[in-house]
Structure 1
Amino acid sequence: MAQVQRTPLADQAADILLDRIRSGEWGLGQKLPGETTLAAQLGIGRSTAREAIRQLAGRGVLSTRQGAGVFVTALDAPEDWDAVLRRTDIVSVIEARIAIESEAAALAAERRTAADLRGIRRALDGRRGHAPGIEQHVDADTAFHRSVIAAAHNPILLDLFDGFTPRLRQAMIDMLRLRGDDGGADDDLRHVRLADAVAARDSRAAAAESRSHLVDLAAVLS
């Protein structure tokens, strides 16, 4: 059985425990051996084993139940979201946006309030009347799409969009510089149609408008 060979001991112990969980040694919901047993298996002290468990609990893999023990709550540790985005190509980001934003647009059409609609209209006006400059256009466009997602009243969808924004912003700026334009009246009209579909509570049209716009964007960037 693998033992810890290098420092920091707690980090190494956490890695070994995670590898054992990934390999299926303990299933979802299964209880781990006690700290004394784990420490002996890993060749470390109980306090180090406790810290390794604490690390994996913080990553959502383990859960400590008072008086009951330590249990497996996930079979792998989710990777840091920012790290995933940093190594993901832009087209993959756009494809993920399609899944998120088309659903968000449909939900926005169903759930939007009068205040949400005012926010969408303000963002639309800001997008059409943005100050000269590619960066300003990209930021105004992002603000519009965010206003639609906010109207879906799903904080997870909004957090995902906010995670994409820094990864996508520079790519959009670079693309518009190469094209020499921002899509003009046709692009503006597509965003008007999206806003109108949300206003009309037409979830199918809202999802279709959002999807069509982003599919075309992915084609340009690929």
Structure 2
Amino acid sequence: MQIQRKTLAQEVAERLIQGIINEEYAIGDQLPIEPELMKIYGVGRSSIREAIKILSIKGVLSVQQGVGTFVTSKHVQESLETQINKAEIEEVYEVRSLLDSKVAARAAMFRNEEQLQTIKKYLDLREKLATENQALECYQADINFHISIAEACGNNLLKEIYKITSTHILRTFENSHNNNTDSFRLSQKIHRDLYESIEKRDPDNAARIAQMIVDRVY
């Protein structure tokens, strides 16, 4: 995996935060105007604007159109992804268990034909890879199957939360299944049942089966 380099905007944002922590800028202070910030940090206008946007999302700065940018907090609000990255895997599983039945039910109601084909593609791939005991590829196909259901649920926030938690679930597969696909072969039928419920637009059954998968009742 490649190490991602920080953008200029991210570096400026970090320097601004450090300046706020060191009380170069106090809470309530107005930041210098863009041309001055460009000189201070040696970057272009777009990097300054992106840095301010980053810190506005994090709750550190407040942009008042036509007035200026003001310091509102020294405490950075962590993004949902950052919080999930720090969470224990049991917490991640709990979040997923609360989401799965809702996501499946909504997918049954709102999926379109193209989304249904994508779900089916990953279902079939999951079975093929499990049968061939191609473990890592099978784990990824399983995750992609569930993400494709989330993609079809019609709620962007649910979808994004589900996708973030899924990266952590994949890591636990890699660490706990010992390159073995036995449980994936065993659970293929119930995953197919879930697909068929979504295909038939049966939200109640889709929710019930999704919960059974979470509870490993198969």
TM-score (norm 2): 0.67
Q: How does 1:130-141 map to 2 (within 5 A)?
A: 130=129, 131-141=132-142
2:198 paired with 1:198: yes
Name the CA distance, whole Å, in 1 between partners of 2:72 and 2:114.
Answer: 40
What letter corresponds to residue 211 of structure 1 in structure 2?
Q
Q: Tell me the equivalent position of 2:17.
A: 11
Name the CA distance, whole Å, in 2 between partners of 1:14 and 1:67.
Answer: 23
Q: For residue 180 of structure 1, report the CA deviation from its aligned partner.
A: 7.1
Q: Tell me the equivalent position of 2:77.
A: 78
State the Cα deviation string for residues 18-53 of structure 1 (Å, max 9, x = none). xx98xxxxxxxxxx46569xxxxxxxxxx89xx9x9
Q: Tell me the equivalent position of 1:208.
A: 208
2:102 paired with 1:103: yes
Q: 1:75 to 1:98 in 2, by over 3 A?
A: farther
Name the CA distance, whole Å, in 2 between partners of 1:13 and 1:68.
Answer: 21
2:92 paired with 1:93: yes
Q: How does 1:135-174 map to 2 (within 5 A)?
A: 135-174=136-175
**Unpaired stretches in structure 1, ≥5 consecutive residues:** 1-7, 22-31, 37-46, 218-222
Q: For residue 61 of structure 1, report the CA deviation from its aligned partner.
A: 4.3
Q: 1:15 to 1:102 in 2, by over 3 A?
A: farther
Q: For residue 177 of structure 1, report the CA deviation from its aligned partner.
A: 2.0
- Maintained 8 Å contact 2:59/2:72: yes
What letter corresponds to residue 126 of structure 1 in structure 2?
L
Q: For residue 87 of structure 1, report the CA deviation from its aligned partner.
A: 2.8
Q: For residue 80 of structure 1, report the CA deviation from its aligned partner.
A: 4.1
Name the CA distance, whole Å, in 1 between partners of 2:57 and 2:184.
Answer: 45
Q: How many residues align?
A: 184
Over the matched positions of the two proteins, sequence identity in percent amounts to 24
Query: The residue matched to 2:63 in structure 1 has which SS?
Result: strand
Query: The residue matched to 2:177 in structure 1 has which SS?
Result: helix
Name the CA distance, whole Å, in 1 between partners of 2:142 and 2:181.
Answer: 17
Q: 1:206 to 1:76 in 2, by over 3 A?
A: farther
**Unpaired stretches in structure 2, ≥5 consecutive residues:** 1-13, 33-39, 42-47
- Maintained 8 Å contact 1:14/1:56: no
> Alignment RMSD, CA only?
3.5
Name the CA distance, whole Å, in 2 between partners of 1:216 and 1:75.
Answer: 44
Q: 1:114 to 1:11 in 2, by over 3 A?
A: closer
Name the CA distance, whole Å, in 2 between partners of 1:16 and 1:100.
Answer: 41
What letter corresponds to residue 111 of structure 1 in structure 2?
F
What letter corresponds to residue 11 of structure 1 in structure 2?
I
What letter corresponds to residue 201 of structure 1 in structure 2?
R
Larger Cα Rg: Structure 1 or Structure 2?
A: 1
Q: For residue 189 of structure 1, report the CA deviation from its aligned partner.
A: 1.6
TM-score (norm 1): 0.66
State the Cα deviation string for residues 108-162 of structure 1 (Å, max 9, x = none). 1110112221221222111111142221221111111111111113333333233
State the Cα deviation string for residues 79-98 of structure 1 (Å, max 9, x = none). 14454333322221111112
